[in-house]
Amino acid sequence: MEIKNKKSIKAFNTPGLKGKITIPGDKSISHRALILGSMCVGKTIIKGLLESEDIFSTINALIKFGVDIERKENGDFVVHGVGVGGHLQPDEPVYLGNSGTSARLLIGLVSSCDITVDFLGDESLSSRPMNRIIDPIIRIGAEVIKGDKNKLPFTVKGSSSPLPIKYEMKIPSAQIKSAIMISALNIRGETTIIEPVLTRDHTENLLNIFGANISITKNKLGHKSISIRGHKELKPTNIVVPGDPSSAAFIIVAALIVPGSSVVIKNVMINKTRSIFIDFLIEMGADIIFLSEYQNSGEKVVDLKVNYSQLYGIDIPSTAAPAMIDEYLIISIAAAYAKGKTLLKGLGELRVKESDRFSAIKNILQLAGVRFESFDDDIVIYGNSGSVKGGCLIDTNLDHRVAMASIVMGLGAEEPIEIDDGSSINTSFSEFFGIMKTLGGNIKNNEK
């Protein structure tokens, strides 16, 4: 059930979620596999690529850069790479919809190529900060020659003679780190990135698979140091994209808060920079069983069994924020159903996501009748011990995670919870409603 037009969606109290489902491919790895495959000479085959609006933004952009990408009948995607530095000048502006990952990674790609690109986005993407990627690419030698460099739309002129840099991350961001690494592949000499706070490491893992000249050490302060020597030809390969843990989080929490639920979730990637939220849910009392473990494209993957559980409030420190920034919305829903107080610290970065998710958490909780307090970048949630009133309409502000978190809350609430529009969910998890209905979720929609 893919929502293609603007539709009001309503979630009703559900007697229990039951069944076995498979989580679609990881969004972060899908973006990166496409871009790195485009930098090879030869054919890269990607199995399990996430087919979402954000991923098609990256695909359409790469096609405009001269890359041939085809989808086979079996669902595999074949990327016919143009080599490092082989991307062409597009004939028209590159529109990236709502995809911040597409924007930042592709800006990195362009920065060390001798081409000029007009980057555009939708209203939401055009409101998000881009200055944090502009600083390093200017040091590399690229320019913003038209537009406000802080926000899209703007025009990036890549450097014809890009320079290697040493860059210390000021703000933990896997997107900025990855953009610099992608740029470094087309720069002579050694580019080094210092990462005081660890962020998701999928780009590093994939660069090893594609045969890049990358080394990872620790500096004198114990911080991660990533060095890349550019102009090494990448080798085309076969990639199997593991399941997206950020998507799995919504199914996991739904099973935990809806009484009588027992769900098996297959193909969940377990990466220490992405799946820490599962550790915190287990600390809250979640009955989550690891059924099996295997490997896909350098990542550990597991099948999980999740049973309804009485959850308990805990403290989640600010140090967890870089690894679970996409999960705070759904963790706040788990906290609303928990017994006792949950403290979420260091949520400032939520204000500059697809919407102001810091405000979104407070709005959902208030409308659903859950008591909370907020202080600076922290939120304290006073759980309702398994019972949430609901009976409200949530404005999603075109944010897919706000939409999914609200629907999950409604499945366990006493009264229905409605969202104004479910179409944004297609940006990351178009199978969400279909999976929920397969498991028995009581969800209805009305086209507006």
Q: Three-state SS for 399?
A: coil
Residue 197 has a pLDDT of: 92
Burial label, 300 (beta-carbon count in 10 A; 0-12, 13-18, 19+) = middle
pLDDT tens profile 107-132: 999 999 999 999 999 998 999 889 99
- Pick one of 3.40.640.10, 3.40.50.2300, 3.40.50.300, 3.65.10.10 as the CATH number of 27-240: 3.65.10.10
Q: 247-275: per-residue pLDDT in tens?
A: 999 999 999 999 999 999 999 999 988 99
Q: What is the pLDDT of residue 32?
A: 98
Q: List the domain boundaries for the chain.
A: 7-25+242-447, 27-240
Give the model confidence (pLDDT) of 162-193 as tens digits.
999 999 999 899 999 999 999 999 999 999 99
181: left (phi over 0), alpha (psi -120 to 50) or beta: alpha
Supply the pTM of this predicted model: 0.92
Stated as kind and residue range, the H or E segment containing 302 is: strand 299-307
Nearest to 445 by CA among 425, 427, 326: 425
**pLDDT value for 448:** 46
Q: What is the pLDDT of residue 412?
A: 96
Cis omega (within 30 of 0) for bond into 162: no
pLDDT < 50: residue spans in the chain: 1-3, 448
Closest by Cα among 316, 319, 313 to 328: 316
Structure tokens at 407: 């629907």
Q: What residues are annotated to the active site?
A: 326
User: Distance between CA 430 and CA 3 in Å, rounded?
Assistant: 8
Domain 7-25+242-447 identical in fold to domain 27-240: yes
What CATH architecture does domain 7-25+242-447 belong to? Alpha-beta prism (3.65)
